Amino acid sequence: MFELQDQVAIVTGGAKGIGRGIAEALVEAGATVVIADIDVAAGEATAGEVGATFERTDVTSADDCRALVARVVERLGRLDVLCSNTGIYPQASLAEMTVEQWDRMQAVNARSTFLMVQAAIEPMRRRRYGRVVITSSITGPVTGFPGWSHYGASKAAQLGFMRSAAIEVARDGITINAVMPGNILTEGLREQGDDYLRQMAASVPTGTLGEPRDIGTAACFLASSEARFITGQTLIVDGGQILPESPEALA
């Protein structure tokens, strides 16, 4: 359905969760996928299981991001797709949040997006083709949840960055878009506990939580050549979670 045969793609944060779902979908669509993650054991295991390769990368480091892109281009000859997916979401109340917790969230979630996109656009510009897909969230840009004000800020920041960056590279044949997941059943979400999972599932019109593959499918579309006329846009994948005006709408 999507033209990704022989495309070279980097998926940051691809060792687990949504990143793994994106990597799997890209491989199945025909892309050559490089998983970039700081977790070496999980990254190598996932790469072997899904048919990708692995590169240990700290995406909060500008040097690491540039080196990753350089290694991929040297080894594979090109870079067509960047899925900037790395993200963390530890909880902290506003009253107790430290400056260090705030800064760490922005570095991993927002700064990494800037660093990876900046590194990737140079080889994309040379070939006048590129697809960038950012994993944002409904939390922050659309909704909120107690304990995640720093997370929501980082996810909203990604979209502000995306819209201006998309204009800068539009005439170079590069598109930049974002997927905005709702509650996706990842390892991290499971760690929030059964009560949280039940609460979240009850807030979704479909009555279910999403799977990483649901985000992978959306990312594949935005990464495809067919999506050439879409840039600076967002695609919400949440089972309709943001639709109800009140809990009574789901009764």
- Catalytic positions are 151
Query: In this structure, are residues 83 and 223 in contact, taking their beta carbons and an 8 Å threshold?
Result: yes
Helices (H), 77-148: 99-105, 112-127
* Single-letter code of the amino acid located at 8: V
Q: Which residues of 21-57 are buried (b: 16+ CB within 10 A; e: fewer)?
A: bbbbbbbbbebbbbbbbbeeebbbebbeebebbbbeb
| DSSP assigned state of 109 | I
Residue 45: partners with Cβ closer than 8 Å, 6 or more residues away: 15
| Tokens matching residue 9 | 């793609």
CA distance 215 to 218: 5
Alpha-carbon gap, residue 13 to 146, rounded angstroms: 25
